Amino acid sequence: MKPVTHFHPALRLLHWLMAAAILAMLFIGVAMVATVSSLHSLLVAIHKPLGLMILVLVVVRLGLRFSTATPPLPESLPAWQRVAAQASHWALYAMMLAQPLIGWAVLYAILRPLHSLVALVLFATVMLHLAAALRHALVLRDGVFESMSGTRRR
Ligand code: HEM
Ligand code: HEM
């Protein structure tokens, strides 16, 4: 059977919706701890429900991920880049799952610093992921970006 060329439409929708939500959460989180004004409670009031939405969505997303066919990376890609892509994708899934759970239990003295640490590692991984995605879209033009954007090629 011919391998699929694109992620399932529901996975693509979830990818972009969650990318926006997670980026917003990172900035809201930082703004939250840097603010003492009345804005603080407003930011907390957004941060908590949005974080829980991310938790629910990642569970749905992982369910779909394991039950649909996913496009293979191009043969032309060096082995180390394939390994790096897979490792970073599973790290992103793990952090999307863990971060809301840690945030929820934030009262515990150990988990509060852990929430900051995971936020930092998540942000760094997202930046690397963004750089790699743009390299595929603009330099390599190998269909990897389109597999998630849903636009044609390949
Ligand atoms: C993907 C989900 C989440 C992300 C990316 C995220 C991100 C962040 C970031 C960046 C900070 C600031 C950390 C610092 O600079 O020390 C923060 C703080 C915090 N987060 Fe989250 N968070 C998420 C989910 C949650 C959830 C679900 C809850 C609670 C239900 C939560 C509760 C908190 C609390 C209470 C703080 C500290 C606020 C303060 O000290 O004023 N977070 N979060
Ligand atoms: C918070 C932000 C983001 C998170 C958490 C995230 C997470 C992920 C994850 C977990 C995958 C793996 C999909 C799978 O195999 O199931 C993925 C794939 C992908 N992402 Fe993101 N993403 C984010 C932002 C972005 C941005 C901003 C772009 C582009 C500018 C992008 C482009 C892509 C592309 C092209 C793929 C497909 C890679 C492949 O074919 O293996 N992502 N993303």
78: CATH: 1.20.950
User: 34: which 2 tokens?
Assistant: 């840097």
Residue 115 lies in a domain: yes
Does some domain include residue 3? Answer: no
Residue bearing the CA closest to ligand 2, atom 9: 89
Are 118 and 95 spatial neighbours (Cβ–Cβ below 8 Å)?
A: yes
Write out the DSSP string of 12-78: HHHHHHHHHHHHHHHHHHHHHHH--STHHHHHHHHHHHHHHHHHHHHHHHHHHHHHS--PPPPTTS-
Is 39 a domain residue? yes
Distance CA 102, CA 115 (A): 6
Q: Is 84 within the bounds of a domain?
A: yes
Ligand 1 midpoint to CA 31 (Å): 10
pLDDT of residue 153: 60
Q: Report yes or no on 108 lying in a domain.
A: yes
The pair of structure tokens assigned to 37 is 């004004």
Q: What is the pLDDT along the chain (154 residues), one digit of tens a residue?
A: 788 999 999 999 999 999 999 999 999 999 999 988 889 999 999 999 999 999 999 999 999 999 999 999 999 999 999 999 999 999 999 999 999 999 988 866 778 899 999 999 999 999 999 999 999 999 999 999 999 999 876 5
**Domain count across the chain:** 1
Question: Ligand 1 pocket: which residues have CB below 6 Å?
Answer: 22, 25-26, 29-30, 32-33, 47-48, 51-52, 54, 99-100, 103-104, 106, 115-116, 119
Longest CA–CA separation in the chain, Å: 59
How far apart CA 102 and CA 91 sit, in angstroms, is 16
- pLDDT confidence of residue 125: 98
Residue 2 lies in a domain: no
pLDDT the model gives residue 51: 97
Q: How high is the pLDDT of residue 109?
A: 74
pLDDT at position 35 is: 84
Cα(65) to ligand 1 centroid in Å equals 26
Boundaries of domain holding 71: 9-149
137 lines ligand 2 (CB under 6 A): no
- 140 residue type, one letter: L
Ligand 2 neighbour 154 (Cβ under 6 A) = no
